[in-house]
Amino acid sequence: MHQYGVSDVERLLGLSRSTIRALIAAGFVTPARGPRKALRFSFQDLIVLRTAQSLAAAKVPPQRITRSLKALRRQLPETMPLAGLSIGAVGEQVVVRDGAGQRQADSGQYLLAFEGDPDKGSLSVIERAPPPAPRQADPEDWFGRGLALEEDDPAGAVAAYRKAIAADAGRLDARVNLGRLLHEQGRHQDAERVYREAIEICGGDALCWYNLAVLLDDLRQRRDAAEAYEEALRLDPSLADAHYNLGLLYEGMGKPQDAIRHMSRYRRLMQTQAE
């Protein structure tokens, strides 16, 4: 497996040494040590470093970044695919795709696209420019604008998602993304209101319940969070992260049998995904 030094990371990713050190100190990557204890990074480390820097610049909370990067690392190949690599997120689920024609997740936040061959000293990081504002009240256009603005203009993304919802009250994807953005901005009451309104108007949705559970978990409302995780899993038992979070939650609530049950289910799901 090819490895890269600090100078390679600086050149390929355009990150300063202080930024690289800060991302390492935050625990986002754990590089190996080469001769004379020099830091050595893998291809996966390169992608994780650049994604972590992008999320941190967007003021995503460190806990959320860590969760996303753990999911990201599980999906990364060992080398850059010939057709490039794109990274997006559907709610809390990180999506990694190759192929130049698939630069955006089906629904959710677009993050970054990578092209080139870092083993040959070439790696380009591609970030989309936001599209112009829709001229008419088209919910699809407003939703797409919200996706494009999330990283560089979160306030503009919030406004775009609200316009998408105003144009079509049944836009569950816009409601879920709006709630997530408000959560990330620390507007917890607004986020909870958005999620509960989405559930009332659009019906049961596993991702919506999961995001609500994460919010309640962050607010230390453990009983309500557990109920929301359980509802998410009732709708979609394959949500591995929900089993993991719920297992930790039950462990903290003094319910070891429930904790073990969900952790076991989480491990089985992860093993199945790895096969």
Q: What is the pTM of this model?
A: 0.53
Q: 242 vs 64, 123, 170, 180, 255, CA distance in Å?
A: 14, 35, 25, 16, 16
> Where would I find the H helices in the chain?
6-13, 17-25, 43-57, 62-75, 139-149, 154-167, 172-184, 188-202, 206-218, 222-235, 240-252, 256-274
Return the structure tokens found at 18: 């202080």
- The string of pLDDT tens digits covering residues 110-152 is 467 777 777 777 776 765 544 555 555 678 888 888 888 888 8
Residue count (the chain): 275
**Domains contained in the chain, CATH given:** 6-126 (1.10.1660.10), 146-274 (1.25.40.10)
- pLDDT tens-digit map of 149-188: 888 888 889 999 999 999 999 999 999 999 999 999 999 9
